[in-house]
Structure 1
């Protein structure tokens, strides 16, 4: 998915990882809220289910979404490397030197 824009892949990978983590929190919150309803707790606060879901989903998401996290991290590293090379080339041109090869 390389359309010539260096940040596009980065944005897609990071948004995919963030969306997956949010969907996991929503699913865990729904499961906790549904389990409370099944146990007869009709007045179980949704905020409490959401807070427990966040606590449970933090470590669970790291484990479940490891491939997405690695892909997002690799995209960030590639983007940073490209920025570093571009900055080095610019600084070399400003000093009047030949820029290092890309």
Structure 2
């Protein structure tokens, strides 16, 4: 059971790392757009800078953070396989099958 908790905790950390990386990319791009425009004497509202940053960060983040995305996806798949296996074992035990009692 401790191994199951580690795999779920690992999944949460992997997904959280990917999420934070994507949010940091949006924040960095928004800052570049907001302050970069002021260097050229253009006043860009913060909301507009954020919207442009989101639009640019969507495809850029998928490419830049591909290793993080693959790791998070693999973690999610591993937890999904474990949960599916546990559910099948529980259903087998409820039916009274011998395969559910093998553990």
Q: Would you call these one fold, judging by a TM-score over 0.5?
A: yes
Unaligned stretches of 5+ in structure 1?
A: none
Per-residue CA deviation, residues 28-80 of structure 1 (Å, 9 max, x unaligned), is 00000111110112x32000000000000000000000000000000000000
Q: 1:7 Cα shift?
A: 1.0
Q: Equivalent residue for 2:32? A: 31
Give the whole-Å Cα distance in 2 for the aligned partners of 1:101 and 1:36. 66
Q: In 2, are the aligned partners of 1:88 and 1:100 still within 8 Å (CA)?
A: no
Tell me the C-alpha RMSD between the 2 structures. 1.5
Unaligned stretches of 5+ in structure 2?
A: none
Alpha carbons of structure 1 residues 66 and 101: separation in structure 2 relative to 1, 3 Å: farther
Q: In 1, are the aligned partners of 2:93 and 2:101 still within 8 Å (CA)?
A: no
Give the whole-Å Cα distance in 2 for the aligned partners of 1:12 and 1:61. 18
Alpha carbons of structure 1 residues 18 and 100: separation in structure 2 relative to 1, 3 Å: farther
TM-score by length of 1: 0.91
Paired residues, what number?
A: 99
TM-score by length of 2: 0.90
Give the whole-Å Cα distance in 1 for the aligned partners of 2:101 and 2:63. 40
